Structure 1
Amino acid sequence: MESTSPSPGYYPFNVRVYGICINAQQQVLVSDEYIKGGFYTKFPGGGLEYGEGTRDCLKREWAEELFQEAEIGEHLYTTDFFQESAFGDGRQIISVYYRVKPVSPFVLPFKEKPFDFDELRDQAEVFRWINREDFSAHSVTLPIDKVVAEIIKDMEFEI
């Protein structure tokens, strides 16, 4: 992918906030998404909007994507290396990860297989659980998520 350098004095940052949820069966929640013609497996979450704090962003994203209220727990990781957007738009990605505990029951159905979309449109998203012993950096697509996958793989989580 060709890099597009920003104009001098203009630094286009894209701040993303993601939740790490591990259930009582020791499974990690991931989102399978089809975006801009590509297939991505990532942690649930999304983009920070102007005027939001990172925790408020994740609460909003969790409610929008999973239709669920969540408690935002401990901070797990913030990007500490340069990462350009996967979409080649010249933006630098900064991702912040928190532990998430569901406050309300899950209402969406979970899929068993990756990218098991009911219908493939311009954008599609489904959620699934991956057993902790099968989870690794290979389970997710995005470079920053791969770093976080290795961090959380061996962490102790109380449910």
Structure 2
Amino acid sequence: MTTAITSINLRVYGVLMNDQKQVLVSDERIYYQNLEVTKFPGGGLELGEGTRDCVIRESKEELGIDVTVVDHIYTTDFFQQSAFNPEHQIISVYYLIKPLEPLRVYVNNKGPVYPKEIAEIFRFVDWEFFDENVMSLPIDKVVARLVKEKYATAEPFIF
């Protein structure tokens, strides 16, 4: 039996690429579901907030940096039920973001290893290894494919 959708959850994510041709991903452990996911950094839109303001705020909260929005990459155009709450429909907006300062979070390029006090860590994935298979969630997989197609040249790596 399918769970009835009762609300829409609007999420906003930033795609950050560095000058070493790497894409930043977030490895997150959801303890209450005993689940680990690899996704783009970002989070939920707050009431009264625009999507660009949301990705800027989320980048400050999660990455500890100020960013600017460079490009709109994608907005969900298909039905997606939440992996975390079956009563929610997910709509996600993705932006290419540019850091205005150095990252202030620990970046672990060895893969997800979660100390008990940390539920989210970040790592860079080399462009040649970055694709939809790196990502866990269905919409992120679509965006990973689009990023590889749209930014196949060195243009986004000018930061």
TM-score, normalised by the number of residues in structure 1: 0.90
Q: Offset of 1:114 from its aligned partner?
A: 2.1
Q: Offset of 1:84 from its aligned partner?
A: 0.2
Q: Unaligned stretches of 5+ in structure 1?
A: none
Match of 2:73 among 65, 71, 76: 76
Q: Note the 1:57-136 alignment, pairs <5 A.
A: 57-117=54-114, 119-121=115-117, 124-136=119-131
Please say if 1:4 is aligned against 2:39.
no
Which 4+ residue blocks in structure 1 deviate beyond 4 angstroms? Answer: none
Please say if 1:151 is aligned against 2:146.
yes
Query: Paired residues, what number?
Result: 152
TM-score, normalised by the number of residues in structure 2: 0.90
Letter in 2 for 1:143: P
Distance in 1 separating the partners of 2:79 and 2:9: 12
Aligned twin of 2:24: 29
- Over the aligned positions, Cα root-mean-square deviation in angstroms equals 1.4
Distance in 2 separating the partners of 1:28 and 1:65: 16
Letter in 2 for 1:85: S
Please say if 1:44 is aligned against 2:49.
no
Q: Offset of 1:133 from its aligned partner?
A: 0.4
- Structure 1 vs Structure 2: percent identity of aligned residues? 49
